[in-house]
Amino acid sequence: MSKAVVIVPTYNEAENIAALLDAIVAKEPGLDILVVDDSSPDGTGEIVLQMQRKHPQVSLLSRSARSGLGAAYVAGFGWGLEHGYERLIQMDADFSHDPKYLAPMLSALDSADLVMGSRYIPGGGTEGWSLSRRLISQGGNIYARAILGMTQKDLTGGFNAWRRGTLEAIRYSSVNSVGYVFQVELKYRAFRAGKTLAEFPIVFPDRRLGVSKMSSSIVFEAARRVWLLRSQGQAHR
C-alpha cells in the first residue's frame, strides 16, 4: 500500500491524545500520524512531543494560534503532500473515529478517489447522541444534499480518506470555510471535479472526554455557506 498519514487536528485534547496515538499505533503500526495542534493551552502539544519518544511515526505541526478546523486541515494536507504521502486520512482526536476503520477505509481508496466515513448508510450509526444532536446532524445532511445536488448520505462527517491527486485537483488550500462546513466544501469540490466518492459505514460514538467544539455559530455558518457553495458551483459551469 502506498505511503499514508493520519492527520489529527487538536485544540485542548490533552485528555484524549496520548490514548488515541497509542490506539492508532496498536491497530495500524505502519501508518504515520500528524497531529496539527493550535497551541492548545492545556498542553496537548507537549504531550504529543513526549509521545514521539514512544512512537517515532508521530509528527507534530504546531500552529501559533487557534484559527479553526478548516485551517488546521489545510495546514495538515500541505504538510502531508510536501512529505510525499499518497493517501491522507482525516481523523478526530476524541475517539469518535475508531482506529479499526483506518485499514478498510484505506483499502477502499483502491477503487475510489475519496472514501467518506458515513454514519447514515447501512452498517453505520451513532452512539450516545441526544435526540437534538441527531436531528441537527441528519437535518444538516439532508439540507446539504438537497442544495448541492449530491446523493452521498454523510457530507458533514470528518473521517475521510483522500488520494493525493484528489486533494490537488480540488485546490484544497483555497477552501475558506471554517468549522464543520469545511468538510462539506471539500466533498462538494471533489464531486464537482468528477471524482469517485465512496461511503464506508462507521459507528460514531459521542466523545469520551473533553468538550465538544460544536456551537450554534458553527451550525448557522454551515447553513449559510452551503448556499454560497452552490452559487459558486453554478458560476463555474
- What's the gap between Cα 84 and its chain centre? 19
- What's the gap between Cα 222 and its chain centre? 16
Query: Which CA distances in Å does 166 have to 86, 162, 175?
Result: 10, 7, 14
pLDDT tens for each residue of the chain, 237 residues long: 579 999 999 999 999 999 999 999 999 999 999 999 999 999 999 999 999 999 999 999 999 888 888 999 999 999 999 999 999 999 999 999 999 999 999 999 999 999 999 999 999 999 998 998 888 888 889 988 999 999 999 999 999 999 999 999 999 999 877 777 889 999 999 999 999 999 999 999 975 554 554 445 555 566 666 757 766 654 344
Residue 224: predicted pLDDT? 65
Count CB atoms within 10 A of the CB of residue 174. 9
Residue 45: predicted pLDDT? 97
Residue 236: predicted pLDDT? 44
Dist. CA 151–CA 53, nearest whole Å: 44
Residue 133: predicted pLDDT? 86
Residue 235: predicted pLDDT? 39
pTM as predicted: 0.89
Q: What size, in residues, is the chain?
A: 237
Residue 30: predicted pLDDT? 94
- Average model confidence (pLDDT) for the chain? 89
Contact between 139 and 157 under an 8 Å Cβ cutoff? The reply is: no
Contact between 39 and 64 under an 8 Å Cβ cutoff? The reply is: yes
Residue 139: predicted pLDDT? 86
Burial class of 84 by CB neighbour count within 10 A (0 to 12, 13 to 18, 19+): exposed
Topology at the third CATH level for domain 4-235: Spore Coat Polysaccharide Biosynthesis Protein SpsA; Chain A (3.90.550)
